[in-house]
Chain A
Amino acid sequence: MKRYLPFVIVSAVALITLAGGTMLYHAKGLPLLTISKNHPVSGTDGAGSIHIRGKPEAPVTLEEFGDFECPPCGRLSEPINKLEQDYHSRLRIIFHHFPFATHQHAREAALAAEAAGLQGRFWEMHDVLYREQSTWSKAADARPLFNAYAGMLGLKIDRFKKDMESDEVEKRVNADQQEGAAVGVTVTPTIFINNRALPPPSLNEAGLRAAIETAIKAKSPP
Chain B
Amino acid sequence: MESRNRIILYTIAALISLTGLAEATYLSVLSLTGETAVCGGSASCFQVLGSVYAKIAGIPIAAFGILAYFSAFGFATFAAFGYARVRKFFGLTVWTMFAVTLWLLFVQAFILHAFCRYCLFSAALVFVLSAVVVLTPSSR
- Residues of chain A touching chain B, judged by Cβ–Cβ distance below 8 Å, are 2-3, 5-6, 9-10, 13-14, 17, 20-21, 24-25, 28-30, 67, 69-73, 100, 102-103, 186-190, 199-203
List residues of chain B with CB within 8 A of the CB of A69: 43
**Interface membership of B119, Cβ < 8 A:** no
Classify the interface of chain B: helix, strand, loop or mixed: helix
The reply to whether A17 and B70 form a contact with Cβ atoms under 8 Å apart is: yes
List residues of chain A with CB within 8 A of the CB of B81: 2-3, 5-6
Which stretch in B21-29, B89-97, B102-110, B126-134 binds the other chain? B21-29
The reply to whether A6 and B46 form a contact with Cβ atoms under 8 Å apart is: no
The reply to whether B30 and A28 form a contact with Cβ atoms under 8 Å apart is: yes
- A-contact 0/1 string along B116-127, CB 8 Å cutoff: 000000000000
List residues of chain B with CB within 8 A of the CB of A71: 39, 43, 46-47, 50
List residues of chain B with CB within 8 A of the CB of A28: 29-30, 33, 35
A17 CA / B80 CA spacing, docked (Å): 21
Other contacts beyond A21-B25, A28-B29, A71-B46: 5, CB < 8 A: A28-B30, A29-B33, A72-B46, A103-B43, A189-B38
A69 CA / B46 CA spacing, docked (Å): 12
Given contacts A10-B77, A69-B43, A102-B41, contact A200 B35 (CB under 8 A): yes
The reply to whether A187 and B35 form a contact with Cβ atoms under 8 Å apart is: yes
List residues of chain A with CB within 8 A of the CB of B77: 6, 9-10
A21 CA / B62 CA spacing, docked (Å): 12
Min CB distance B115 to A, Å, is: 14
Min CB distance B45 to A, Å, is: 10
List residues of chain A with CB within 8 A of the CB of B42: 102
**Interface membership of B78, Cβ < 8 A:** yes
